[in-house]
Amino acid sequence: MPEGHILHRLAGEITEKVGGVAVHSSSPQGRFAEARELDGLTVGRAWARGKHLFVPFEGIAEQVHIHLGLYGALTVTDVGELPVVGQVRWRLQSTQHTFDLRGPTRCELLTPVEVDAILDRLGPDPLDPLADPEPAFARMKRSRLPIAQLLLDQRIIAGAGNVYRAEVLFRHGLDPFIPGHAFERDAFDAVWADLVDLMRLGVKHGRIDTVRPEHEPEAMGRPPRQDDHGGEVYVYRRANQPCLVCETPVAASSLASRNVYWCPICQIPD
DNA sequence: GCTGTATGCAGAT
DNA sequence: TCTGCCTACAGCG
């Protein structure tokens, strides 16, 4: 379930649990050969930008760069000894904790220059307190592509994924297919501010919840529900199910080979 | 046991 | 716009 909030949360968890600790590093699966070079080193302060996670070590300039891709996962277990289950690309363990990385798109040791190259191609990250959203707005205003597509472009905004895209557009009543150049200043500002809020909540809770209290099923007099991806949302993966606000069936289609979900009434074009 | 699906992205066409 | 890729799991026969 890797959108940006997960990577920021993991960075905090790594730092909290093994920061300043000498760890064992290995690649049970064998596809991260450099893991051995890190064995016995002390972990530094892990950090994230967008969907990229970086783990530095004391005494070396290189950092581990992780990108989870579509289905990668980094699981944390508060046990120092654990049997290897499945394809574990990288295992980082202390006497009290085990981090197992499975199925990442990237797991590699990068030089500072290579790390900078990654940062250079990322747009502002709503979870970065120093992020400046202006370049993101400027780039969207220059594009004819639909705003739904632009929101997933990591060069424009780093960290939002398919769930946050669908939900933030719903929460602001925005038609996903408005071209970037028609994106209104106020609407963009509201979307950015909402991403900051929603993603911070995501880091805190480890799940994506976007439904406002007044629209929760209990408040609307409907039976409670739980979306199967961990949080509670308005439209993501709810195709043909009733909109939580107006009960119109949620619409879905494919845009640049990613599924988009929206309510055709609540997000009606102007 | 097989198939389809997934919160992503790069590289080829 | 398409294909491939990393892995786990649900649903199906």
pLDDT (0 to 100) of residue A268: 79
Q: Are A113 and A88 in contact (CB under 8 A)?
A: no
In this structure, is the dihedral angle defined by the CA atoms of residues A166, A213, A2 and A45, taken in order, positive or negative? positive
> pLDDT per residue over A43-95, tens digit each?
999 999 999 999 999 999 999 999 999 889 999 999 988 899 889 999 999 99
To which H or E segment does residue A168 belong? helix A162-171
pLDDT (0 to 100) of residue A140: 94
pLDDT (0 to 100) of residue A219: 82
Please list the ranges in chain A whose pLDDT falls under 70: 1, 225-231, 269-270
Q: Is the CB of A253 under 7 A from strand B?
A: no
Q: Is the CB of A17 under 7 A from strand C?
A: no
In this structure, is the dihedral angle defined by the CA atoms of residues A144, A146, A149 and A153, taken in order, positive or negative? positive
Question: What's the CA gap between A58 and A6, in Å, rounded?
Answer: 24
Active site residues of A: 2-3, 51, 258
Nearest C-alpha neighbor of A67 from the set A21, A13, A110: A110
- Residue A155 contacts by C-beta under 8 Å, 6 or more apart in sequence? A121, A122, A123, A139
**Which nt sits closest to A165, CA to C1'?**
B7
Phi, psi for residue A16 in degrees, rounded to 5: -65, -40
Phi, psi for residue A48 in degrees, rounded to 5: -140, 150
Bases of chain B with protein Cβ within 7 A: 6-10
Q: Is the CB of A69 under 7 A from strand B?
A: yes
Q: Is the CB of A146 under 7 A from strand C?
A: no
Straight-line distance from CA A42 to C1' C8, in Å?
31
Bases of chain C with protein Cβ within 7 A: 1-9
Q: Is the CB of A103 under 7 A from strand C?
A: yes
Question: What's the CA gap between A42 and A63, in Å, rounded?
Answer: 12
pTM: 0.94
pLDDT (0 to 100) of residue A269: 63
